[in-house]
Chain A
């Protein structure tokens, strides 16, 4: 199985433009997550979804929005990109939102905002 796929692999985006990062999982996992990874800061949670139809804010949600219309897809949208959103973005999923569930990560999307 593919697990988690993310698209695009990388992107250069002009500041002020909008963009949607796509994430699809084929594991039928209930919970999904979006992280950004910056050098020295580790992975920081942007938004999460415990189950289809629900979303919640993570540690750094400002400037980002998400939706969870179905189990498989969890897109992340930047409405008006700023240079500080330059980062590597990882989508992840877990079987449930319960304690101690393993999170499975996608390959990431490298985003450069100029």
Chain B
């Protein structure tokens, strides 16, 4: 069964700093690695995702990098803002599902990010 290990569990960063969250996976049915952002009292929402044909994807201040040989991927939040304070989850396709079963994700344990003003 797929395990996705996410670190750190929590992170405190000053405004303007860089937040870095790392994830490692064991096996995947296919290469697709989304990151979800969750604010307190809300459901998670897709933040950014990377597909296998690229090793890095950038959207605004958020960047995903992907190392297939090491089975690792990470999220960098540049110029962190107080509004980025949230819990972040990485995810990978669940390998206990055959590919035909489609979009089943295994999530990491989450990282609570606090950006201090």
Contact = CB atoms under 8 A, between A and B. Distances in A.
Interface of A: 4, 31, 35, 40-45, 48, 50, 56, 58-59, 90, 92, 94, 96-108
A18 B107 CA distance: 28
A50 B99 CA distance: 13
A5 to B, nearest CB: 11
Interface in B74-117: 89, 93-94, 96, 99, 101-110
B103 A97 contact: yes
Contacts of A4: 43
7 nearest A-B residue pairs (beta carbon):
A105-B43, A97-B102, A42-B107, A43-B107, A42-B109, A100-B32, A101-B103
Contacts, number: 74
Contacts of B108: 42
Given A45-B94, A58-B104, 20 more contacts: A31-B103, A40-B109, A40-B110, A41-B109, A42-B89, A42-B107, A42-B108, A43-B89, A90-B43, A92-B43, A97-B103, A99-B102, A99-B103, A100-B32, A101-B103, A102-B46, A102-B49, A103-B103, A104-B45, A105-B45
Contacts of A104: 45-46
A114 B89 CA distance: 29
B55 interface: no
Interface of B: 1, 4, 6, 9, 30, 32, 34, 36, 41-46, 49, 51, 89, 93-94, 96, 99, 101-110
Contacts of A35: 107
B89 A94 contact: no
Contacts of A96: 102-103
A43 B9 CA distance: 14
B43 A107 contact: yes
A106 B104 contact: no
A45 B89 contact: no
A40 B102 CA distance: 26
A2 to B, nearest CB: 13
A4 B9 CA distance: 28
Contacts of B9: 40
A99 B32 contact: yes
Contacts of A98: 102-103
